[in-house]
Structure 1
Amino acid sequence: MNTKPSNAYIGSSWVILITGVLGYLIGLFRAEMLLNEKGYYLTVLLFALYSAVSVQKCVRDKEEFIQVTNLYYGLSWFSLIASIALLAIGLINADLLPSEKGFYAFGFIMSIFGAITVQKNTRDIHQYNNS
């Protein structure tokens, strides 16, 4: 059964994605750290967003019996886990206040959650419109 997500769920998914990404990026822009450190944290966020959407797509494809290679499925999971580990290692070793570390961690997690739900909603809407 194809059901369209509610407008409230669609809107809240976009709000959480935008809030997480913008909060993380604003914090990164305002941070007093070297440019290469900022680049590291930006790259980790982008890597995480891409891999989270990829994992969500693979899981959904498998549920709908759409063929997904085990290599791509495994690489998607590895990429998501690696991006989370890279952020954790970076924050543990960073010369930041604990509150700043928490800010980046929560912005990161909100961004991943938002990316997954926006992608899910986009696919659900597409399926609903084509049924």
Structure 2
Amino acid sequence: MLDIEEKKDSNTVVNHGTSVNAPSKVFIAAGWIALGVGFIAFLIGLYNAEMQLNEKGYYLTVLLYGLFASVSLQKSVRDRLEGIAVTDMYFGICWFALISAIALLVVGLFNADLELSEKGFYGMSYTLVMFASIAVQKNVRDAQ
């Protein structure tokens, strides 16, 4: 019988009876690079933007809230797939947090006095950061 967590070979990890291929070093690096590029691009965009400080704080807070929400939701989904107990209440809160973080960004950008290209930049860098944070969290968990 397999333990809770054991390594079968150098590329396969068994978590709670589920066999998972360990991510390659290139995929791990790509995830971290995408996260860093998206996050730094978003911050540089905020730094260079001609908006009030409270608006910059709003977008930074929405970014951080979205990061937490996406990682928390990904962990909850993965826990459920591996048979680890996750309450329906927490799972629902994770979904609500992610949806509300995205909605806050969309509403903020819709109401912002920015060029359409700037709005697109913030939307795309936010999307990159959300995707990369999920990939990094998955890679970290798969490597354990």
TM-score calculated relative to the size of structure 1: 0.95
Structure 1 residue 3: Cα displacement: 2.0
1:92-123 Cα offsets, whole Å, 9 max, x none, are 11000000000000010000001000000000
Give the match for residue 85 of structure 2.
67
Give the match for residue 40 of structure 1.
58
Give the match for residue 129 of structure 1.
none
Give the match for residue 10 of structure 1.
28
Give the match for residue 125 of structure 1.
143
Q: 2:49 aligns with which of 15, 28, 31?
A: 31
Higher strand share: 2
SS in 2 for 1:67: coil
1:60-109 Cα offsets, whole Å, 9 max, x none, are 00000000011110000000000000000000110000000000000100
Q: Which has the bigger relative contact order, CA under 8 A and spacing at least 6? A: 1
Q: CA–CA distance in 2 between the matches of 1:57 and 1:17? A: 17
TM-score calculated relative to the size of structure 2: 0.86
Unpaired runs of at least 5, structure 1 = 127-131
Q: CA–CA distance in 2 between the matches of 1:65 and 1:71? A: 17
Give the match for residue 54 of structure 1.
72
After superposition, the CA RMSD in angstroms is 0.6
Larger Rg: 2
Structure 1 residue 26: Cα displacement: 0.6
Q: CA–CA distance in 2 between the matches of 1:114 and 1:15? A: 8
- Listed as ranges, the matches of 1:108-119 within 5 Å are 108-119=126-137
Higher helix share: 1
Give the match for residue 117 of structure 2.
99
SS in 2 for 1:95: coil
Q: CA–CA distance in 2 between the matches of 1:112 and 1:125? A: 20
Give the match for residue 7 of structure 2.
none
